[in-house]
Amino acid sequence: MNCRVCGEKCEKEYTSVNLPECIWPTKKNFKSKCHVYSCLKCFHLQLQNFSKKKISEFYGDTQFNLSKSSVHKNRIRLIKKIYGLNYLKNKNILDVGGGINPILYGKQIFIADIKVQNNNKIIFKNNYFEIDIEKNSLPYKFECIFLIHSLEHFKYPLKALKNITKSLNPNGRLFIEVPNFDYYTIKKSYFGIYHQHLSMFTIEHLKNLLKQSGMHIDKLLIKNEIMFCSFKKQNIKKKVTYIDNKEIFVKYKKNYNVMRLKITKHIKNKKFNIYGGGGSMVLALASVLNNKKKINKIYDSDSRKWNKFFPGTKKKIFRNKKNITNINIYSLSSYHMKKNKNLNINDI
């Protein structure tokens, strides 16, 4: 396979187990393996070459991974702390890929997405663009552009970045947030690789990609489970940094096997309940469980999931009542539950 960033040869680093292609409750329930490739020239990590039509099927009918407004507020608070309280005032700002849940609202805020939600078309009036940013650029300039959990979803991330940076003022800043693959090599490895994330980034992978689009890192604002960075345009084209992707996957495979062992050891071939029917639980179970008959009940607090099927199973998701307890049933959760027979997958 050729790299979708620089066009050079890639080699395969990893193949997953069969995973649900859509990890949210949906009518379709296809499964397939993810193959991770490493570019031999720019070291970019990417999944196999899916068609655009196939990629669109990974998202199902409804999304359940929207950032809460409080999370957006924390991002804005951090920017103001570093760049000043008035930094975002009187600036034309673009949010790319934020058509579902934009980071900001206002007269000078614009959103761009391949499909903008109808309610946001009403809210943003003439300030929205339905556009495939991998193919086209916008004929406008902005002082700030946000890419919040969008970059990892592009099939051609460098093409998207080049089109995005055409709309960035010479002294403007591009704010990018992506999952931190370094984190998932150590913890929650089940959530490191799946169909919707077409690229995987450590901080060095992110820097390398941005170098190729004529950008350099200005500030690393957050680095834990996610990386939140600001970038500025650079005049001198810099070479990409060597990354030992093989070593990264040695660590990833080791911790993936530890995760599988912990879950299977906890379940002990017993019936168990699931608390939290989101994407992370879908991927955790797909990684370890062959016999879905072991699942007793599945509960979730999100009303949009109730009575829909948990991906990869024929089990419906029920309303999560606070007082649900059963000392005879083991459980897996993504919630902080105080139960002797509960294993929180976020701790793995």
Residue 45 reports pLDDT greater than 80: yes
Note the pLDDT tens digit of each residue in 175-231: 999 999 999 999 999 999 999 999 999 999 999 999 999 999 999 999 999 999 999
What number of helices (H) and strands (E) belong to the chain? 8, 18
Question: What does the pLDDT average to over 1-15?
Answer: 98
Give the model's pLDDT for residue 1.
96
Q: For the chain, how far is it from start to end, CA to CA, in angstroms?
A: 33
Cα distance between residue 264 and residue 50, in whole Å: 32
For tokens 């980071």, name the residue. 103
Cα distance between residue 13 and residue 46, in whole Å: 10
Residue 307 reports pLDDT greater than 80: yes
Six token digits for residue 280? 């992370």
Question: What does the pLDDT average to over 52-60?
Answer: 91
Packed helices 245-267 and 279-288: angle between N→C axes, nearest 10 degrees: 80
Which residues make Cβ contacts (< 8 Å) with residue 147, sequence separation at least 6?
A: 96, 97, 164, 174, 175, 176, 177
Give the model's pLDDT for residue 298.
93
Give the model's pLDDT for residue 42.
98
Q: How confident is the model at residue 282 (pLDDT cuts 50, 70, 90)?
A: very high
Domains along the sequence of the chain with CATH: 10-57 (no CATH), 69-235 (3.40.50.150), 268-347 (3.40.50)
Give the model's pLDDT for residue 325.
58
Q: How confident is the model at residue 328 (pLDDT cuts 50, 70, 90)?
A: confident
Six token digits for residue 161? 């970045």
Give the model's pLDDT for residue 148.
95
Q: What is the largest CA-CA distance in the chain?
A: 65
For tokens 């007269």, name the residue. 107
Question: What does the pLDDT average to over 292-301?
Answer: 89
35-39/31-32 β-pairing:
unpaired
Which residues make Cβ contacts (< 8 Å) with residue 281, sequence separation at least 6?
A: 274, 332, 334, 345
Residues 199/160, Cβ–Cβ less than 8 Å: no
Percent of the chain whose pLDDT exceeds 70: 95
Question: What does the pLDDT average to over 121-149?
Answer: 94
Nearest to 40 by CA among 259, 297, 246: 246
Which residues make Cβ contacts (< 8 Å) with residue 7, sequence separation at least 6?
A: none
Give the model's pLDDT for residue 327.
66
Single-letter residue type at 293:
K
Give the model's pLDDT for residue 63.
63
Query: What is the chain's mean pLDDT, rounded?
Result: 92
Packed helices 157-166 and 203-212: angle between N→C axes, nearest 10 degrees: 60
Helix (H) or strand (E) holding 120, with range, is: helix 118-124
Residue 166 reports pLDDT greater than 60: yes
Q: How confident is the model at residue 256 (pLDDT cuts 50, 70, 90)?
A: very high
Cα distance between residue 78 and residue 184, in whole Å: 24
Note the pLDDT tens digit of each residue in 79-122: 999 999 999 999 999 999 876 788 999 999 999 999 888 888 88
Question: What does the pLDDT average to over 11-31?
Answer: 91
Four-residue CA torsion sign, 179, 181, 182, 188: positive
Nearest to 116 by CA among 135, 133, 97: 97
User: At residue 199, what are phi and psi to the nearest 5 degrees?
Assistant: -130, 150
Among the listed ranges 49-58, 78-87, 239-248, 326-335, which one has the minimum average pLDDT value?
326-335
The pTM (predicted TM-score) of the whole model is 0.94
In DSSP notation, 21-61 reads S--SS-S---EE--EEEEETTT--EEE----HHHHHHTT-S
Give the model's pLDDT for residue 314.
87
Percent of the chain whose pLDDT exceeds 90: 75
Residues 263/284, Cβ–Cβ less than 8 Å: yes
Question: What does the pLDDT average to over 12-39?
Answer: 93
Residues 149/101, Cβ–Cβ less than 8 Å: no
